[in-house]
Amino acid sequence: MVYTEKVMDHFKNPRNVGEIENADGVGTVGNAKCGDIMQMFIKVENDIIVDVKFKTFGCGAAIATSSMATELVKGKSIDEALKLTNSAVVEALEGLPPVKVHCSVLAEEAIKAAVADYYKKNGIDKEIPAPAHCHEWEMGH
């Protein structure tokens, strides 16, 4: 399996790893097929994601995609972050092997789950766009 340099870089030196204490939103998602779990923490100020951290118990691609996803949403507004799709994450990583695309779906879902939690905690009644659903996701590994 061939990974791009970007993927290897984010896998070996993942950005924004860890936990945010008193996070404004925490999202935990998992893939039932492979058993990998991803947790995203966001700190929100005036509708802007001022900080984001993640913990991923999963494969290398899941680590690389969560790392890239945090980079892509940091400093962005909530609305912009909700527009982040798994394909945008894959594109930013300059590609993922097809069997690993489902791992990037986990990253998109984790961000959305963290925002959903933020909305819930703050009594914000807004809809979260449904996460991408791809075939790779169904296929598991």
Write out the catalytic residue numbers.
34, 103
Shortest distance, position 37 Cβ to ligand FES, whole Å: 9
Nearest to 34 by CA among 61, 6, 59: 59
Shortest distance, position 74 Cβ to ligand FES, whole Å: 22
29 binds ligand FES (CB under 6 A): no
* Phi and psi angles of residue 104, each rounded to the nearest 5 degrees, phi first: -75, -25
Shortest distance, position 33 Cβ to ligand FES, whole Å: 7
Q: What gap in Å lies between CA 35 and CA 41, rounded to an integer? A: 20
Closer CB to ligand FES, 79 or 91, in the complex: 91
110 binds ligand FES (CB under 6 A): no
What Cα–Cα distance (Å) separates residue 82 from each residue in 58, 66, 139?
Answer: 23, 15, 25
92 binds ligand FES (CB under 6 A): no
Q: What gap in Å lies between CA 4 and CA 106, rounded to an integer? A: 19
Secondary structure percentages of the chain, helix, strand, coil, to 5? 45, 20, 35
| Contact set for ligand FES, span 40-79 (CB under 6 A) | 58-59, 61-62
* Phi and psi angles of residue 5, each rounded to the nearest 5 degrees, phi first: -60, -40
Which of 3, 23, 31, 70 lies at the binding interface for ligand FES (CB under 6 A)? 31
141 binds ligand FES (CB under 6 A): yes
Shortest distance, position 109 Cβ to ligand FES, whole Å: 11
Question: Which residues form the interface with ligand FES (CB under 6 A)?
Answer: 31, 34, 36, 58-59, 61-62, 100, 103, 106, 141
